[in-house]
Amino acid sequence: MTAFGIDLGTTNSCIACVDESGRPVVLPNAIGELTTPSVVYFDQREKVWIGRAAKDAALLAPDLAVQLVKRQMGLEGVGFTFHGTTYTPESISALVLKELTSAAQRHLGEPVRDVVITVPASFGVAERTATLLAGEIAGLNVLDILDEPNAAALSYRERAPVQGPRHLLVYDLGGGTFDTTVVRVDGDHVEVICTGGEPDLGGADWDARVRDFLLDTFTRQHPRLDPTADPHFMKELSIRAEQLKEELSTMTSRHRSLAFGGAVVPVELNRRQLEELTADLLDRTLARTEKTIAEARRKGVPDVDEVILVGGMTRMSAIMERLGKLVGKAPRRHEPDLAVARGAAMFALLKQMEQGAGQGRASRPAVRLAARMGLGEKQAEKLGSQRATAVLPRGFGTKVLDINDPLATTNPALARAYVVHLIPAGTALPADTGPVTFHTAIDNQPGIEVEVWEQASEESSEELADNKLIGRGKLRDLPPKLPKHTPVEITFFLSETGLLTVNAVEPASGRQVRFDLQIGGLDRSAVDLARTFVARHDTSS
Ligand code: ADP
Ligand code: MG
């Protein structure tokens, strides 16, 4: 059975598989496009539009559409209500996945079941689990969740196999997010060294600049007309702004005429002007990239060997030029909006091969893919066995009182508290901390509240404000007359699927408490319910 790779993007999604000759290929959607806008439009009860039609409809009726849902994956308590039904971010994403897989199924004439779905390297366990559940809700068998830069690295690797360890800088500028990551590729191993970015910076910001420019040109000639009051005009303007921007990647100058209130204004925009209008945006991505390179250097990567461009926005030539100057290496770019899906398809096939190892010969596409990558069959299997989500992107810890604060003994509720990360970001999963010793704060302390906090900012910090409380348990009925500073041992165990088991014990009395937290995600019954429900939706648009 064919395995598929899916780039479930913030603005566009894409599905690919590896063909008979071992080459990853992207499959077109129902209207022949290689990428599908990740937009769901709720036309009627259980009748939704997905993709281009939804994106266009959303410009006039944004209240009936969900866009950029990826930014809300893994957040608890988020719901979107349409025609009397509430949808979670997981269900919305499942609808997008269903659209992609049904189109692929029609195109190939065979069922789509086994998939690898990609996520940004910065996604935490909660967001990853939510993505996995979205796949399950769509009725898919999710072989794994893979980091987008790793997928991009694999895809480039297939085009230009190299030997020996390489460090790649993956610069990914999409429609609404920017990620910059250093990845190490070494034979049968791919791993993220460090990652950063701006979650709210992307092509849409470039579009807004072009839109403002067009509007400005119009109103300068007709100051008494106010086209901003007309939603149809503004919708047209948004569509045209994005088109203009995209056309200027291949053409050096474009014309448009804007018509409103009986006035017609011809406008010209050239590539140089576009670059000037958006220079500060590009600068922001470059500054962030420098930080990522510096961080990689601190982690022992002296130099990046290659620069890879990913995301539709990197078709803009100014990005390639400026980034090339910054790093001192010519970046590589090849269909940057398809690379992630292609790499995911390669990984999906290698995963399948590894799972089927020993049950007969590897499939022809798998053997050929391995050869294209310059890997032997065994090495390819090993790459497929790699846990794609092996590294924890954000740390977990527990809250402790600062015993140097005099209030800690007199009024603990008011004393300074901070977070100790028991499982720091970057730890390989599964992770087991073993018992870590803490101490009671006061004499005769009756119990201990064990709070679990997840790192909430990119940099690890012990301040409560930079962390998020995600659960708690209570160690009750400690023996009477315990002196202050009695040791208590806390153990965290985090599985690969995001199940965190916390154990706290007071060794002298043996009193203990144990609790589990599912980091992110719905419970089983909610997933099953959503699956039946999403299956009922008519997505043919
Ligand atoms: P995401 O990863 O956010 O889902 P993509 O990688 O598909 O998104 O990038 C989408 C962005 O790329 C959009 O802003 C789109 O306008 C832009 N884009 C697509 N093609 C081009 C092009 N030829 N020139 C410039 N920008 C482009
Ligand atoms: Mg993307």
Q: What is the 3-state secondary structure (H, E, C) of 484-513?
A: CCCEEEEEEEECCCCEEEEEEEECCCCEEE
Structure confidence at residue 80 as a pLDDT band (50, 70, 90): very high
Residue range 173-201, pLDDT digits in tens: 999 999 999 999 987 888 888 888 998 99
CB 340 within 8 A of CB 148: yes
Q: What angle do CA 142, 147, 152 make, to 5 degrees?
A: 110
Output the pLDDT for position 538: 79
CB 5 within 8 A of CB 17: yes
Q: How far is the CA of 131 from the centre of ligand 2 (A)?
A: 14
Q: How far apart are CA 345 and CA 524, in angstroms?
A: 27
Indicate if the pLDDT at residue 223 is higher than 90. yes
Burial class (CB in 10 A: 0-12, 13-18, 19+), 324: middle
Indicate if the pLDDT at residue 289 is higher than 90. yes
The CB density around residue 535, as the number of other CB atoms within 10 Å, is 12
Q: How far apart are CA 10 and CA 14, in angstroms?
A: 11
Output the pLDDT for position 524: 73
Which of 439, 516, 408, 424 minimizes the C-alpha distance to 470? 516
Q: Is 232 helix (H, G, I), strand (E, B) or coil?
A: helix
Q: Specify the residue with its C-alpha closest to ligand 1, atom 8.
A: 174
Output the pLDDT for position 451: 94
| Residue 471, token pair as written in the block | 């659960």
Q: What are phi and psi of 111, to 5 degrees?
A: -65, 150
Q: How far apart are CA 109 and CA 214, in angstroms?
A: 45
Q: Can you tell me which atom of ligand 1 is nearest the CA of 312?
A: 12
Residue range 142-162, pLDDT digits in tens: 998 999 999 999 999 888 877
In short, whether 337's Cβ falls inside 6 Å of ligand 1 is yes
Q: What are phi and psi of 118, to 5 degrees?
A: -100, 155
Q: Which residues contact 91 (CB under 8 A, 6 or more apart)?
A: 134, 137, 530, 533, 534
Which of 221, 223, 216 minimizes the C-alpha distance to 237? 216
Q: How far apart are CA 255 and CA 268, in angstroms?
A: 4
Q: Can you tell me which atom of ligand 1 is nearest the CA of 202?
A: 14
Indicate if the pLDDT at residue 243 is higher than 70. yes
Structure confidence at residue 56 as a pLDDT band (50, 70, 90): very high
Indicate if the pLDDT at residue 60 is higher than 70. yes
Q: How far apart are CA 151 and CA 190, in angstroms?
A: 9
How many Å is the Cα radius of gyration of the chain?
Answer: 26
Q: How far apart are CA 37 and CA 114, in angstroms?
A: 22
Indicate if the pLDDT at residue 465 is higher than 60. yes
CA 124 to chain centre: 9
Q: How far apart are CA 245 and CA 318, in angstroms?
A: 12
Output the pLDDT for position 358: 64
| Residue 452, token pair as written in the block | 């679990």
Q: What angle do CA 436, 440, 446 make, to 5 degrees?
A: 125
Which of 17, 160, 9, 23 minimizes the C-alpha distance to 71? 9
Q: How far is the CA of 182 from the centre of ligand 2 (A)?
A: 16
Q: Specify the residue with its C-alpha closest to ligand 1, atom 22.
A: 246
Q: How far apart are CA 121 and CA 320, in angstroms?
A: 22
Indicate if the pLDDT at residue 520 is higher than 70. no
In short, whether 12's Cβ falls inside 6 Å of ligand 1 is yes
Indicate if the pLDDT at residue 389 is higher than 60. no
Q: Specify the residue with its C-alpha closest to ligand 1, atom 13.
A: 175
In short, whether 35's Cβ falls inside 6 Å of ligand 1 is yes
Peptide bond into 430 cis (omega under 30): yes
Reported as half-sphere exposure (CB side, CA atoms, 13 A), residue 99 has a value of 35
Look at strands 65-66 and 80-82 and give their pairing: unpaired
Q: How far is the CA of 311 from the centre of ligand 1 (A)?
A: 6
Indicate if the pLDDT at residue 67 is higher than 90. yes
Can you tell me which residue has the tokens 């002007």?
A: 273
The per-residue b/e assignment along 181-191, b for 16 or more CB within 10 angstroms, e otherwise, is bbbbbeebebb
Output the pLDDT for position 292: 95
pTM for the full predicted model: 0.85
Q: Which domains does the chain have, with CATH numbers?
A: 3-201+283-389 (3.30.420.40), 203-277 (3.90.640.10), 396-495+499-520 (2.60.34.10)
In short, whether 176's Cβ falls inside 6 Å of ligand 1 is yes
Q: What is the dihedral of CA 85, 91, 96, 97, to 10 degrees?
A: -140
Specify the length of the chain in residues: 541
% the chain with pLDDT above 90: 66
Output the pLDDT for position 527: 82
% the chain with pLDDT above 70: 97
In short, whether 316's Cβ falls inside 6 Å of ligand 1 is yes
Q: How far is the CA of 205 from the centre of ligand 1 (A)?
A: 11
Residue range 397-414, pLDDT digits in tens: 999 988 888 888 788 788
- In this prediction, residues 278-307 reach a mean pLDDT of 96
Q: How far is the CA of 329 from the centre of ligand 2 (A)?
A: 23
Q: Can you tell me which atom of ligand 1 is nearest the CA of 310?
A: 6
Residue range 318-344, pLDDT digits in tens: 999 999 999 999 999 999 999 999 999
Output the pLDDT for position 360: 65
Q: How far is the CA of 152 from the centre of ligand 2 (A)?
A: 10
Residues measured by CB to lie within 5 Å of ligand 2, the ion: 9, 174
In short, whether 249's Cβ falls inside 6 Å of ligand 1 is yes
- In this prediction, residues 494-514 reach a mean pLDDT of 87
CB 525 within 8 A of CB 14: no
Indicate if the pLDDT at residue 138 is higher than 90. yes
Q: State the maximum Cα–Cα separation within the chain, in Å, rounded to a whole number.
A: 87
CB 339 within 8 A of CB 152: yes
Q: How far apart are CA 445 and CA 514, in angstroms?
A: 19
- In this prediction, residues 480-491 reach a mean pLDDT of 91
In short, whether 11's Cβ falls inside 6 Å of ligand 1 is yes
Output the pLDDT for position 383: 84
Q: What mean pLDDT, rounded, does the chain reach?
A: 91
Look at strands 263-270 and 306-310 and give their pairing: unpaired
Residue range 24-45, pLDDT digits in tens: 999 999 999 999 999 999 999 9
Indicate if the pLDDT at residue 427 is higher than 90. no
Q: How far is CA 131 from CA 61, 67, 179, 535, in A?
A: 27, 16, 18, 17
Indicate if the pLDDT at residue 388 is higher than 60. no
CB 257 within 8 A of CB 267: yes
The per-residue b/e assignment along 255-269, b for 16 or more CB within 10 angstroms, e otherwise, is ebebebeeeebebeb
Of the listed ranges 223-227, 241-245, 276-280, 426-430, the least confidently predicted one is 426-430
Indicate if the pLDDT at residue 106 is higher than 70. yes
| Residue 118, token pair as written in the block | 């990609």
Q: How far is the CA of 174 from the centre of ligand 1 (A)?
A: 5
Strand order in the sheet with 417-423: 417-423, 396-401, 448-455, 467-475
Burial class (CB in 10 A: 0-12, 13-18, 19+), 239: middle
Indicate if the pLDDT at residue 23 is higher than 90. yes
